[in-house]
């Protein structure tokens, strides 16, 4: 399985690029991995504005 490039926060419904500083504040149980931000958006997530820039 490929490494997840994006991590969603189930609590805030925000999707972060893996490596985003905000991720360390997310509990493991609140994390959801995505291979792309678009997939996360389909599940109701919003992309983090700090790290979501391409």
* 51 touching Zn ion, by CB under 5 A: yes
Q: Which residue is nearest to Zn ion (CB)?
A: 48
20 binds Zn ion (CB under 5 A): yes
Tokens, residue 53: 């820039």
- Say whether residue 4 binds Zn ion (CB under 5 A): no
CA distance 21 to 1: 24
Report how many residues bind Zn ion under the rule CB under 5 A: 6
Site for Zn ion in 30-49 (CB under 5 A): 48
């Amino acid at each position: 399985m490929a490494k997840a490039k994006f991590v969603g926060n189930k609590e805030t419904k925000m999707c972060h690029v893996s490596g985003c500083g905000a991720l360390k504040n997310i509990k493991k149980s609140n994390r959801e991995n995505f291979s792309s931000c678009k997939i996360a958006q389909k599940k109701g997530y919003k992309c983090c504005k700090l790290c979501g820039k391409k």
